[in-house]
Structure formats: structure tokens, C-alpha cells
A = this chain, B = another copy of it.
Amino acid sequence: MMKLYGYFRSGAAYRVRIALNLKGIKVEQISRHLRNGEQRDPAYLKINPQGLVPALVLEDGTVLTQSLAIMDWLEETQPNPPLLPKDPIRRAKVRAFAQSIACDTHPVQNLRVLQRVKGLGQDDTAWARAINLEGLTAANELIKGEKGPFCFGAEPTLADICLIPQVANARRFKADISGLTRLQEAIKACEAHKAFQDAEPEKQPDAE
């Protein structure tokens, strides 16, 4: 069985949990407690020198890191059900949405950056709230013209997988995203889907 190093509250690990659930793949979950700095333990740095979660350890010991790279690997090796449409243009649209969150939003408000903001004597919660609001407002624009109920149609894709963990952060930092109607429709569809429900932070073994 594969091992997933994660943390209940890590948005990037949350994405991989959803993807694994959608594909029906069971893994052993191992927690690295981010607030206690466990991801910086020398033993864990041997697994992932970036000192970040998630890391997926395959049965032969190969370590894969970076949530998007892990999900591309999953998609390439276990294509059903698909996380991406078949048409190259549609794939690019789904990926661009996912990256608007995974590149332009999530990393700018993760624990590492917020600790840096706090270390400068600044309000890290206000920073995180602004980044979440800006990022999700742009994400809503990207799917305004798309049919629902999910971000890109009738089935969940990589876009929804990246959206939901970011929404958890937006709520935690009290960013008001209630007016983003197309996004709200997708959130509702995801929250009614078992693969998303089972991946929720509060339901993980290491939840506090």
C-alpha cells in the first residue's frame, strides 16, 4: 500500500486525499504536524528535501512530491475516473483554474509565508484574508461561462480538487466569498460528493 505523508490542515495534502478518493485508491496516511515543525525533521527531509507535505511513497519506495505532480502521475497511471477532460483545450482550461489556486493563491498564504509576515510584525490573518479573496475572485471569473454544477461541468475535475481546500482556508481566514455565485455552485456540488467529504480535514486521523 502507498503511504501519504500529510497533515489534516494542509491544503496541498487535502487535494491529494480528494484525488485518491475519486480514483478509489486507499493509502496509509502518515501525519507530519506542520505547526510543530515535524516536516523539518531530518528524517522527513530525507523523504522530501523541500520540507513540505504532501509526499506520496510508492510501494517500491519511490517518493513523489508536489500535489499537482502527484495528481498528474495518478492520472497517467490510473486514468479512470479521469480528473481532466480529454480535449487539450479543455484540459488547459481546467489546469489554468487549478494553477490559479495552486500557484497564485495557496503558496502566498500558506503557513511558511504567514509565519514570515508575522515575523515582520504584520497582521498575518489580514494578509491571508486578502490573498484568499483575490485568488478566489479570479477563480470565479475563470468559470463564469462554464456549465455547472462542478467547476467544469457534470463531473469533478482537478479544478474542484484545488478549489475545495482553498475554500476551507478562505473560511478559516473569514474571507467573504459569498458573492462568488458560480464558485458557490461548485462548492455545493463538491460538498455533497463522498470523495470530497471523506477528505475533509476534520475527518482525518490527525485532526485536532
Contacts and interface: CB of A to CB of B under 8 A. Distances in A.
A99 interface: yes
A48 B107 CA distance: 21
A70 interface: yes
Interface stretch (A60-68, A170-178, A191-199): A60-68
Interface in A23-43: none
**How many chain copies?**
2
A177 B13 CA distance: 30
B104 A92 contact: no
A157 to B, nearest CB: 13
A69 interface: yes
Contacts of A95: 66, 68-69, 72
Interface string A95-130: 110111011101110000100100010100001001
Interface residues of A, number: 41
B69 A99 contact: yes
A96 B138 contact: no
Contacts of A1: none
A188 interface: no
Interface string A124-149: 00010010000000100110000000
A94 to B, nearest CB: 8
A69 B69 CA distance: 13
17 contacts: A49-B142, A50-B104, A50-B138, A50-B141, A66-B100, A68-B68, A68-B99, A69-B92, A69-B98, A72-B91, A72-B95, A73-B91, A76-B91, A102-B103, A116-B130, A120-B120, A120-B122
